């Protein structure tokens, strides 16, 4: 649809002191991906370290624009000081990139697309539908959302992880452990996330949780 919205109307808060504005889905943009991330305070990792090759990534080339505040990017191992007004363009999906806010309110607008191909939305974007339910503390809805995604893309590590989060918060211990295990088996990166994620406080003391996230587990080397 044609229309307008201020970034403050689109942003919804995340537990990790960050807000997201899902711009593409709001306007139903069909020809490129676009979102914005806002840091609640200095030190927040506004763009978590990632490349664009993961199962949920779009394998896009990506343009990052610091529209306010001040960020410190690390791209391909290089540090880039990025005050408001800085564009950082990362063409190769395999390049590692991240950004940390140096000021509260630092806002980064991200645009992505795949050269030479018609645009299709990145799978991870769908996960935001569920994340909105987390933000509203509606964990039943969040769990239902991820279950429906998993029915379409079985075994998706990110969806399994978020489902486990919702189940842990709902006190469904066995379900949470089962789905977290499946998530970690699909992508070991989620071990590290689980260790630091307060959503799992309810199951953290369970021996099985330790087994799933165990520091001594040999599969850790694969991350």
Binding site for other proteins (CB under 8 A): 1-8, 10, 23, 27, 29-32, 34, 60-61, 63, 65, 67-68, 75-76, 78, 80, 82-83, 85-92, 95, 97, 109, 111-119
Give least dist CB 120 to other proteins, A: 10
**Cα 75 to Cα 103, 183, 193, distances in angstroms:** 19, 27, 21
The rounded distance, in Å, linking the Cα atoms of 81 and 71 is 7
Judge contact between 46 and 100, C-beta under 8 A: yes
Terminal Cα-to-Cα distance of the chain (whole angstroms): 41
Nearer to other proteins, 4 or 215 (CB): 4
Give least dist CB 158 to other proteins, A: 23
Nearer to other proteins, 35 or 182 (CB): 35
> What order of strands is seen across the sheet that includes strand 45-50?
45-50, 97-101, 70-75, 78-83
Nearer to other proteins, 58 or 123 (CB): 58
Nearer to other proteins, 48 or 91 (CB): 91
Token pair belonging to 60 = 């896009």
Give least dist CB 29 to other proteins, A: 6
Nearer to other proteins, 119 or 206 (CB): 119
Give least dist CB 85 to other proteins, A: 4
Scored b (16 or more CB within 10 A) or e, 190-214 reads bbebbeebebbebbeeeeebeebbe
Give least dist CB 46 to other proteins, A: 16
> What order of strands is seen across the sheet that includes strand 11-14?
11-14, 18-21, 33-39, 107-113, 61-68
């Amino acid at each position: 649809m044609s229309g307008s919205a201020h970034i403050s109307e689109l942003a919804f808060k995340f537990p990790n002191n960050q807000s997201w504005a899902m711009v593409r889905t709001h306007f139903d943009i069909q020809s490129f991906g676009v979102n914005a991330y806002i840091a609640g305070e200095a030190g927040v990792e506004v763009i978590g370290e990632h490349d664009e090759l993961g199962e949920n990534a779009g394998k896009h080339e990506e343009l990052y624009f610091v529209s306010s505040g001040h960020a410190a990017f690390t791209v391909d191992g290089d540090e880039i000081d990025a005050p408001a007004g800085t564009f950082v363009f990362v063409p190769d999906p395999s390049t590692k990139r991240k950004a940390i806010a140096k000021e509260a309110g630092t806002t980064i607008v991200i645009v992505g697309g795949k050269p030479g191909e018609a645009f299709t939305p990145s799978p991870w974007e769908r996960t935001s539908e569920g994340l909105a339910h987390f933000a509203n503390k509606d964990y039943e809805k969040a769990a239902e959302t991820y279950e429906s995604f998993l029915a379409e893309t079985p075994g998706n590590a990110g969806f399994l992880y978020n489902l486990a989060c919702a189940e842990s918060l709902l006190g469904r211990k066995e379900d949470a452990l089962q789905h977290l295990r499946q998530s970690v088996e699909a992508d070991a990166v989620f071990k590290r996330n689980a260790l630091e994620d307060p959503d799992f406080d309810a199951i953290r003391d369970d021996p099985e949780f330790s087994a799933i996230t165990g520091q001594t587990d040999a599969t850790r080397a694969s991350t």
